[in-house]
Amino acid sequence: MWSTAATYQIFHSIALLASPLLPSPTIVGAGMILGVLVFSGSCYLSAWTGDKALGKLAPIGGSMLIGSWLAIAFL
């Protein structure tokens, strides 16, 4: 779970560096930052504490990440 969170965090951090070049950088940037915080954060906490209930927040963060990619594609 830790490596999955780190992988998603790295890839979305790289994409976040390119967000100022987009037509709507605020929407994309906010979506990616919040998505990484919720998705990777819940995965990190779940892996660190062993509490699997925290991992239930990951789909919410994943939805935010998908939304930010859709904003890149359609805005």
- In the prediction, which pLDDT does 67 show? 95
Residue 61: the pLDDT is 96
Number of domains in the chain: 1
Q: Which residues constitute the domain of residue 31?
A: 2-74
pTM, 2 dp: 0.89
Q: Where are the beta strands (DSSP E) in 1-75?
A: none
What pLDDT does residue 55 have?
Answer: 83
Return the percent helix, strand and coil in the chain, to nearest 5: 90, 0, 10
pLDDT at residue 63 in the model: 96
How does pLDDT run along the chain (75 residues), one tens digit per residue? 899 999 999 999 999 999 999 998 999 999 999 999 999 999 999 999 998 898 889 999 999 999 999 999 998
3-33: buried (b, 16+ CB within 10 Å) or exposed (e) per residue?
A: eebeebbeebeebbeebeeeeeeebbbebbb
